[in-house]
Amino acid sequence: MKFFRISALIERDMRKFLRSPALMMSSMIFPLVQLVVLGYAFGGKIVGASVGVVDEDHSVESRRIREMFNGIAEGPRTFHVIDYDSISRALDDLRAGGIHAVIDIPHDFSLRFYHRDRPRIAFTEDNTDQFISSSLLERVQQMVDDLNAPNVEPRLQNKVELNVVEIYPYIEYIKYLLAGSIAMAIFIVAMIGGGITFIDDKARGLHEGYLVTPIHKTELVMGLIGAGAVKGLMAGMVLTIVGGLIAGIPRLWDPVRLFYLSIVVLVASVAMISFMFLVMVRVDDPLVPRAIFGVLNTLLFFPSGAVYPVEAFPPWLRWISIIDPFTYTVHALRNLTIKNTGIDGIYVDVLVLLGFSVIMIGASIALFKRQL
Amino acid sequence: MNSIECDHLTKKFGDLVAVSDISFNVAQGEIFGLLGPNGAGKTTLIRMMTTLTPPTSGTARIAGHDIRTDADGVRHALGVIPQAFTSDPELTADENMLIHAKLYGVPAERRETLIHDLLESVDLLKFRGALVRTFSGGMRRRLEIARGLVHSPKILFLDEPTTGLDPASRTNVWEMIRALREKAELTILLTTHYMDEADKLCDRIAIVDHGKLAALDTPTRLKDSIPGTDAVEAEFEGAPKDWIEQLQGLAESRGVTQHDGVVRIPSHDGPTTVAALMDLARASGVTVRKVSVETTTLDDVFLHYTGRELRDAAHGGAGYDISHLYR
């Protein structure tokens, strides 16, 4: 194997890549837009939901509950309150999508309260939107807990208390998503360089020009993967910096962390480009990589834990995440961008990605056809 | 001494025999042409000799390197200009040359001078910094020829080098190929389906049809090998049904063929055959609309050895019948 032939192929691709700003931009703009839009769309707390309140009791106690609702509407503003005269009208509006939940204070609420007979209020929710319904339920539950708290605390308490210690400052969702966006930028470069451009060049006959030279198929595969990896490193690091600034990652310019980030981005680039190369190694039709782009994107990006924790997945989806190079890329990048763990938090991921790359490259070389 | 030795090369794709038992030698410094219609097997033959396709049986030796056992040696010895444009349109002429020089391991200190000289020899020096996608077909072909010579090979393979080029560009490429042979003492093997190209450029021609070698010799000897030195071409009006049979008996005639209403009569003495033709037409009441005498061409040679004209063979090369589309 001669390194000068590998470097010639890398040089060829780099010259083309640097000459084509459209290609560079397309590999970075989509992940950046995704980072900003999804980061802010998914990261916020629920504000301004509509809750209908039906007070059938009209008592001092029910008024106290109403005041607590008004307090939430004025304070955290999770929801605003709409008063209803009848429960049936409120439920009709709930079914029609006009409001998100209904609180019913029944006519015997105060009676049961004074008789200490488990007074109840009803919370009817539109559970088609899990995010809003769980936020409303959490808020209402909190309010009920406050109602149940004794007016005078006993002098001696024997309750177990949970003291929560958060070891990192509050992490906005955009920071959580950044690792996935960097991985996405690498994936797009791999898809364009290892998939679309590779097949297009093959279809245009450009490969024949290389196959008549003394280049060995190992050199050809290594050269094409090497070129893709360098492009992936460039795109990934640009996204790390720009995305890191947008997401507000603290101490972004820490040189040690940037060094570790560049290692993860480089290894992830090799893994993804070699995976893409293996998928495309026997493909001749230029439509194929374009057709499977969306499928591969969905199959690799979402099971990786980039947008949602892997721990929430069903077993079959966890299996995909285990063999998905995105998973280890996202895990290592997240450890560095959010936790700044250093080498301890990334070395397993880096080793897995390297092992994955070796298998992909070996299989690609074995399957690559040196002859037409 | 032979630069190329082709030894019973055969290539089968399933049941289809693309190249059948072809053998020939090409001497050092020779321009050798493989002449045949599209689909005759020329490209498959050249791909086997350039190690791009493995042969089913037989072998070839290029500059002494066997294509089966020493593919790397063959690739080092050869310059190949494939039929399709293989230069990278997103790179400049200079960059295309540079990348190929690096792939062949041309030493860094020689690259600049070599690329300069080669681009100068193909008249592309002033376009060296231009992107190849802005080049015309003729310019791209010239660049590919220069690129094929970047490692100073002694043997050059050109697969249909002028296909798709305008007449001026074709002439230009011909002149360049001749000049290269003179200057660099190259052995050149080219494939073509243009008769005039083979006639004007090649020292020897191998006629290939249906994957088989139909004839092989110098253009002059090939023309001499067929009956007749002239060909009379004529068009008639009011000819009877047995007119072609009547023409077979003309003086000095060596067989009659007809294509698109034009009758072609190979002859040892064109003027005598024309005189006999005019007499026969007058006697039979047939009007002669047009008559001409030409010396024998490679078209006649092709017709003689393959039983059909090259233009027929080219049209029928792929074997698809599309006549129903025009009914």
CB contact under 8 A, B82 and A371: no
CA distance A338 to A240: 12
**C-alpha pair distances (Å), B129 with each of A313, A360, A363, B96:** 55, 38, 39, 10
Residue B327 reports pLDDT greater than 50: no
The reply to whether residue B103 touches residue A210, judged by beta carbons under 8 angstroms, is yes
- Cβ contact (<8 Å) for B102 and A7? yes
Measure the CA–CA gap between A219 and A226, rounded to whole angstroms: 10
- Give the H/E segment covering residue B2: strand B2-13
Q: Does A2 touch chain B (CB under 8 A)?
A: yes
Contact by Cβ (8 Å): B41, A201: no
List the end-to-end C-alpha distance of chain A, in Å, as a whole number. 21
Say whether residue B68 is in contact with chain A using an 8 A CB cutoff: no
Tens-digit pLDDT string for chain A (372 aa): 888 999 999 999 899 888 877 777 777 888 888 888 888 887 667 888 899 999 999 998 888 888 888 888 888 788 889 999 999 999 999 999 899 999 999 999 999 988 888 889 999 998 888 888 888 888 888 888 888 877 776 666 677 778 778 777 778 889 999 999 999 999 998 888 777 888 888 888 888 888 889 999 999 999 999 999 999 999 999 999 999 999 999 889 999 999 999 999 999 999 999 999 999 988 888 888 888 888 998 899 999 988 888 888 899 999 999 999 999 999 999 999 998 899 999 999 999 999 999 999 999 999 998 877
Q: ipTM, 2 decimals?
A: 0.75
Chain A residue whose CA is closest to B106: A4
> Rounded CA gap, B213 and B195, in Å?
16
- Residue appearing with tokens 């070599």: B114
- Contact across the interface for A205 and B84, Cβ inside 8 Å: yes
pLDDT at residue B38, rounded to an integer: 80
Under CATH, which number does the domain B227-295 receive? 3.30.70
Chain B CB contacts of A215 below 8 Å: 103
Cα B134 from Cα B92, distance rounded (Å)? 9
Nearest residue to B149 (alpha-carbon basis) of B195, B109, B182, B118: B118
Per-residue confidence (pLDDT) for residue B321, from 0 to 100: 46
Q: How far apart are CA A208 and CA A227, in angstroms?
A: 19
- The per-residue pLDDT for range A281-313, each reduced to its tens digit, is 888 888 888 888 889 988 999 999 888 888 888
Which residue pairs from B19-25 have beta carbons closer than 8 angstroms and sit at least 24 positions apart in sequence? B19/B44, B19/B45, B19/B48, B19/B55, B19/B211, B20/B210, B20/B211, B20/B212, B21/B58, B21/B212, B22/B58, B22/B206, B22/B208, B22/B211, B22/B212, B22/B213, B23/B58, B23/B213, B24/B206, B24/B213, B24/B216
Chain B residues whose beta carbon lies within 8 Å of the beta carbon of residue A222: none
Quickly count: other Cβ atoms within 10 Å of residue A12's Cβ.
25
**Interface membership of B170 toward A (CB under 8 Å):** no
Closest CA relative to residue A132, chosen from A45, A43, A41: A45
Q: Give residue-wise pLDDT tens across range B196-220.
A: 888 889 999 999 988 999 889 998 8
**Contact predicate A10/A220, CB 8 Å:** no
Residues of B in contact with A4 (CB under 8 A): 102, 105
Q: What is the reported pLDDT for B319? A: 41
Domain ranges in chain B are 2-222, 227-295
Q: What percent of chain B has pLDDT over 70?
A: 93
Query: Nearest CA to CA, how far is B23 from chain A (Å)?
Result: 22
Question: Residue A124 pairs with which residues in a beta bridge?
Answer: A102
Q: How far apart are CA A359 and CA A309, in angstroms?
A: 27
Q: Sheet containing B31-35: which strands, arranged edge to edge?
A: B78-81, B155-159, B187-192, B31-35, B204-209, B212-217
Closest CA to B129 of B155, B91, B167: B91
pLDDT digits (tens, 9 = 90+) for B12-36: 998 899 999 999 999 999 999 998 8
pLDDT tens figures, B125-153: 999 999 999 999 889 989 998 999 899 89
> What distance in Å separates residue A210's CA from the closest CA in chain B?
8
Domains of chain A plus CATH, in order, are 3-42+169-367 (no CATH), 45-148 (3.40.190.10)
**B144 neighbourhood in chain A, CB within 8 Å:** 209
CA-to-CA dists, residue B115 to B93, B124, B185, angstroms: 10, 11, 19
- Over pLDDT 90: what percentage of chain B? 43
- pLDDT tens string A96-151: 989 999 999 999 999 998 888 888 999 999 888 888 888 888 888 888 888 887 77
Q: Is A204's CB within 8 Å of B72's CB?
A: no
Which architecture characterizes domain B2-222 according to CATH? 3-Layer(aba) Sandwich (3.40)
Integer Cα distance of B177 and B207 in angstroms = 20
Q: Which of B103, B140, B152 to mutate to test the interface with A (most CBs of A within 10 A)?
A: B103
- The model's confidence at residue B311, banded by pLDDT at 50, 70 and 90, is low
Q: Does residue B312 surpass a pLDDT of 60?
A: no
- Range B78-113 burial, b when 16+ CB lie within 10 A, else e: bbbbbbebbbbebbbbbbbbbbbbbbbebeeeeeee
